[in-house]
Every structure is written in C-alpha cells, then in structure tokens.
Amino acid sequence: MGEDLNRQRILNFLDVYYAGGIEGALEHCSDDVAFLANAPIDILPHMGQHRGKPALRQMWTTIHERYSEMRYEAPIVVAQGDRVAAQLRVFFRKRHNRRVVQFDVAVFYTLRDGKIIEIREIIDTYDLIQQVLERDLAAALLGQNAE
C-alpha cells in the first residue's frame, strides 16, 4: 500500500510541476531536498547539483522562464518502498521562438515521511543540447557544415 501511495505522490508532484506550480511542487519536497542531473552546466547552467528548496525554486523558475508550456508523459512509474523510478517523455515549448524541445528522462525519487528528499535525473544531454541550441553537434564537432 505504501508503494502505491508513493507512486501517486510522485504523479501528483509531476502534475503540479508541469502545470507551472513551482510552489505547489516544492510542497511535495523536504526542506533539504537534493537534486542532481548530470549535464554540462556551461550550456545548461540550471542543471547540475542543487540542495534545498530555495535552490530548487531558483532552478525551476529559470526553466519556467525559458519555456512557455511544459507537459509530460509517464509511460513507466515504478515504486519500491520509499523509492520511485519514472521514465518520462517531456515537451517544453521555447518562449523566444515557440519551438518544442522533447526528450526522455529517467528520474529516480527518494521519499521520507511522504516528502521527496532526492531527485536524480538521467538525460541524453547530447540530444537535449542539440535541440536547445538548434544545431547538429556531430557536424560541428566534425567540422562539417550543418546545412
């Protein structure tokens, strides 16, 4: 029963977050929540490692400022005790040109007393950066014209 409840807690958190409710999403987190997404922070400075609600608020605010619409699909959400794993397909619409960035992310949540204490994301950052920068990175790395 606890596993079903934790699975539902994460789905509730995702619904609130992707609807733009940063403060509501933070209510699902502990004060000392830890976030980690391995990503090149020179290009995606809001990613990386963050600890505590103020740091997550700042990171999530940056994301919501860059993207006008966000939505997700969760084809797989599995709970085992206080841990929940989710495979997400996310869609972000860029504010400046309305293009959609879509990518898959594996997210691992740890809960304590019904609150999220850790969020770890694994993203194909190569694909994500190509979409964010709107460039063919392979062509650029090989010195080829991307046109």
pLDDT in tens, 50-74: 999 999 999 999 999 988 999 999 9
pLDDT at residue 19 is higher than 80: yes
What are 69-78's contacts with CB under 8 Å, separation 24+?
A: 69/93, 70/18, 70/20, 71/18, 72/14, 72/18, 74/11, 74/14, 77/7, 77/10, 77/11, 78/7
Mean pLDDT of 19-32: 97
Residue 118 pLDDT: 98
H-state helical runs in 36-133 = 53-66, 125-133
Average pLDDT for 77-81: 96
Strands 29-37 and 48-51 turn out to be antiparallel
Could you give the 3-state DSSP secondary structure of residue 53?
Answer: helix
pLDDT band at 33 (very low <50, low <70, confident <90, very high): very high
